[in-house]
Every structure is written in C-alpha cells, then in structure tokens.
Amino acid sequence: MAVEVRMPQLGLTMEEGTVSKWIKQEGDSVKAGDVLLEITTDKLTSEVTAETEGTLIKIVAQEGDDVPVKGVLAYIGAPGEQVGGQAAAPTPAAAPTPAAAPAPAPAAKKPAGETTVAVIGGGPGGYVAAIRAAQLGGKVTLIEKNKLGGTCLNVGCIPTKALLHAAEAISEAKEAAAYGINVEVKSVDWDKVQAKKSAITNQLVSGVTGLMKANKIKVVEGTASFASKDTLTVVKKDGTKENMTFDKIIIAAGSIPAVPPIPGVKENANCVDSTGALSFEAIPKSLLVIGGGVIGIELATAYSKFGTEVTVVEAAPKLLPMMDGELTAQMRKIMESRGVKIMTEAKVQSVEAAAVGAKVQVEVGGKVQAFEAEKVLVAVGRRTDTEGLNLDAVGIANDRGRITVNDKMETNVPNVYAIGDCLGKVMLAHVASAQGEVAAENALGEDAVYNGATNPSCVYTDPEFAGVGLTEEKAKELGIAYTVGKFPLMANGKSLIMNGGVGSIKFILGKEYKEVLGVHILGPRATDLIGECALAIGMEATVEDIIATIHAHPTVTEAVREAALAAEKRAIHIPNK
C-alpha cells in the first residue's frame, strides 16, 4: 500500500512550507533515509527524507507549491501502483479555530494624523500600544484610572524585583566568606529598602510619562466605560464626566489579585495580596503564602532571605504548575534546603485571628493542621479588571469578564481590540506589550498577527527559573515524539563561580527532525539566557543550529550549547548516557 510523504513541521511556529526542489523524480527507486526534496519556509531550508523503501510513484506538490504542515507531498509504493488513478490533492492541515469570529474588514485607512485611537489602561500593554499607534500616525488618547505603568511598574514586576535584588545582596554578603571576603550583615534598614524600591518605580513611571509627551499622546486620568461601540464615557479624577468618540479603541484594562472564598481571609487585616506584601511596615517574622505560583514563590524567596520564617501552601501537586516538572522539583528541594516549608496538595480551610497575627487551618494528607503566622500572603492568581467597562451593553464577547479576541487582537466588535491581562489567558507584561504592538498595527491599517510560541515564562527565584515552548509534560499530553537533552550547571565554570553550580538546562526536541520544541533553565541568569532559546523556537531552529553556534567561554550560556549536545549524546563536559 502506498505511503504518503507529508510536509513536516520543523518548528512550533511553522504552518506551511514551499517545495523548492525535487531531488528524486517519479519512477525513481528510493531507500529509507534518501533525500526526496528540499523545502523552504520563511526562516530556513530543509531536506525531506524517505521513511520507507520503494518507488516514488506520484509527486503531488510541484516545485514552487505552498503546502500546509502535514499536507501530502508525494507517495511511495510499489512500481506501477496507482493512487486513486489520479494525483492526490494535498491534505490540508487542520485550520486553527479562532478565539473569536473575525471582525469585518476595516474601513479605508485614514491619512496619518486623522485616525483617532483610544487606549484604555496605561500598563505595559496599554502604553506600548499607545506608542506604537502614535508611531504609525494615529492621534492617540490614553485613559488611565490609577498610575501610568500599571500593575507591572507600580505594584508588580518592578517593585518585586527590587525586593528580590535587596534580598540577593544579603545572600551575596553572607556567601562572600567563601572567597575570603568577610562581610557582616548587622541589620536590614527596611525603610531604605522601601525607599529604593519606590525610587526605582517612580523613575520608570516618570520615563513612561516622558514617552507619552515625546509621542504626542494625550493622557487622561480617569475611568472609562463604553457608552456605544465607538464612544467612551470617561469619569475624570476631578469628578467631571465626558463622552469621547474614537475611530479605534484598544482595551488594556489589566487585572487585579483574585481573592479566594476562604472563610476569614477578608476579615483579617493580616491577610494581604501581593500589593500589600510589597509594602509591609516591617519585615514579618513569619509569613504563610497561600499559592505556589510565580507571585507566591518569588515573594517567598525574597522574605526568606530577609530572615522571615516562610511556609508555602499549594493546592496542586507541585509548585509552579505551568513550568517543567523536573526542574520545579529541583527548585522545591533548593527552597526547602534553605528553610522554606512547602506543602503541596494542601487546601486552606479557614483563617482565624491569633495573637501572632493569623491562624490558618490547612488540610494536608487527609488531616487538618493549624499554622500561625504574623502575615498571610494570598497569592492564588489574578482576575481580569473589566467589570466597569460595560462590555455586555455594547456586545463585546467575553467569558465572565475575560475578553475574547482573534490572533489580530480584534474583538467581535469592529474597530475594538483587547490585549494583555484582560483577556484572562497569559498574564505576563511582555505578552501584553507584544499584543499591544499587534493591536496598534492592525488598528492603523497594518496586517499583524500575535503568535505566542516564543513567549518565555520567567520566575525570579534563587536560582532563576525560565522556560519557553513545550514542557516535557505538554509534549506527552499532545502526543509529540520527543527527545531530551540535559546539562547540570555543576559542570559549567561560570555557574560554579556564581552560585556553586546549582541548577540545570533542559532541551525538548522533536524526535524526527530535532527541532527545538522547548527549553527550560534553572540557574543563574536563566531569565536572560532564555532569550536565545525563544529566538531558536521562533526561527524554527534545530539542535544542530544551537550546536553550530559558538558560545563564549566562560559564560553560563555555553551550558545551553552543552545541553543541546547532550541531546545528541555529544556533551563534552559530562559523561554521555
């Protein structure tokens, strides 16, 4: 029976390839491994080889034809064997289901400076969208109800990293003795830590303010809601109300901390969300963290270094559920070795008042145990901040406040776009920024598409944790055949110098074509190293592309190449198994 030769998927972002040259012709005998043809994508040229022995009985796709991934290119069979008597038509790949019905074609593009654009929200998604729209000639108004920079700059990414950096300084001072440098950490001036954090935040917010002026973007301080499909009602901070009409509207309303329905949480002043945990009046002696996701683990890391006794309670079987399971388990061991108590598959039943601050009842292992802590950080995630937008009144599709868009960031309402956390999917600042650029470009007549395949996830623990692409668990779930390459940072000179060689790097590769499907890093500077790996996925790179790239020595990044070599059993600095 004839065997189909199909268009391979050489990377996560590949949707189709072009037949550039047939090496074999109809009637030629082929053996398994023979090169049949060359294909090209917009990023690389590759060879397609035969998987079986036989005769190339029918070529379906001619040179120059574009064929979707998994589409039929040819048939291999016995000499003279027919394939339905006719050339088989290429089998199309399944079309992705759009998240929302495509919006109608936009009206003709207005001349530069005449298209009015509103951006609701001035966070990393909103202000980036505003700047990009202005660059493309839009007349832009940004409406922000709190502070420019949004959660990220004011009460999220930046202040959290400022606290983590201060905590790291304590660790470095203590570890300096191993290098013969004796530093005594007498105390932590918490007021100065908070002041430095605020100064950094204020500087960045001021920078965003300057960018608004430089790009001639009008900033309105107030709360916006939809009066109609093209008109916003804005209640300004001075109490006045104004209706504003725009050609295009980009929603970047962001998110707020989720509050779980745990009895006693709302009533206890010692229970705080991530915003409260960034501004404690003093370093707490004890802290119980409800939630083992990114926010909870980062703040647990920071406060444990400040000397706080930290307990983490996570309902799922592991910490950081979306990250690679093997490296997450390593991260847990590292945290526990430093005194952080971690309970997984544990559920908080209630919070009560206690002399120390709070008593938390936790069900773990079938039993309920009581834990007392001075402060309780509730970090179970975030929810969209869209309640006041009046979405339903104008028919903007949403799922309980989570706005629905397609890959152009268009809602179902013409000329209305949405980006970032208010979509309720991947709540990361860099995702919001990327989506903001896409939305702005489409609003101003460009043709842009958002593709999250190269989106890295970063956790600023010690050591840092970062990943991009598929985890091993996800590859198994999708039924993708894969191979793994791992390299322990104990064998990397720079890592050994920086943190004693704690951590490792892990590659997930497609088994047949050796394309990079995912990379996961636990180690020093992981959040910086992941950029190379995201680029590899975006470029549809194979393991040989990583190996062929010379990496500087001594650096942590050369361990990325070693992990790639390990996948091919070619690692230089560890034994190959």
Task: Note the pTM of the prediction, 2 decimals.
Answer: 0.85
How far apart are alpha carbons 298 and 192 in whole angstroms?
21
How far is it between the farthest Cα atoms of the chain? 88
Residues acting as catalytic residues: 553
Rounded to the nearest angstrom, the gap between the alpha carbon of residue 213 and the centroid of all alpha carbons in its chain is 30
Can you tell me the distance from the alpha carbon of 60 to that of 56, in angstroms, rounded to the nearest whole number? 11
User: Are residues 437 and 128 in contact, defined by beta-carbon separation less than 8 angstroms?
Assistant: yes
Estimate to the nearest angstrom the gap between the alpha carbon of 46 and the chain centroid: 29
Cβ distance 70 to 7 under 8 Å?
A: yes
CB 201 within 8 A of CB 153: yes
**Per-residue pLDDT in tens (0 to 9) along the chain, 577 residues:** 789 999 988 777 788 889 999 999 999 999 988 999 999 886 677 889 998 899 999 999 999 899 998 899 999 998 888 775 444 333 334 344 444 444 444 445 566 578 999 999 999 999 999 999 999 999 999 999 999 999 999 999 999 999 999 999 999 999 999 999 999 999 999 999 999 999 999 999 999 999 999 999 999 999 999 999 999 999 999 999 999 999 999 999 999 999 999 999 999 999 999 999 999 999 999 999 999 999 999 999 999 999 999 999 999 999 999 999 999 999 999 999 999 999 999 999 999 999 999 999 999 999 999 999 999 999 999 999 999 999 999 999 999 999 999 999 999 999 999 999 999 999 999 999 999 999 999 999 999 999 999 999 999 999 999 999 999 999 999 999 999 999 999 999 999 999 999 999 999 999 999 999 999 999 999 999 999 999 999 999 999 999 999 999 999 999 999 999 999 999 999 999 8
Measured distance CA(503)–CA(522) in Å, rounded? 5
- Residue 554: asked if its preceding bond is cis (omega within 30°), the reply is yes
Cα angle 549, 553, 557 (rounded to 5 degrees) comes to 60
Token pair 């901070």 in the structure block, residue: 237
Distance CA 224, CA 16 (A): 42
Alpha-carbon distances, residue 194 vs 162, 190, 197, 301, 433 (angstroms): 9, 6, 5, 17, 27
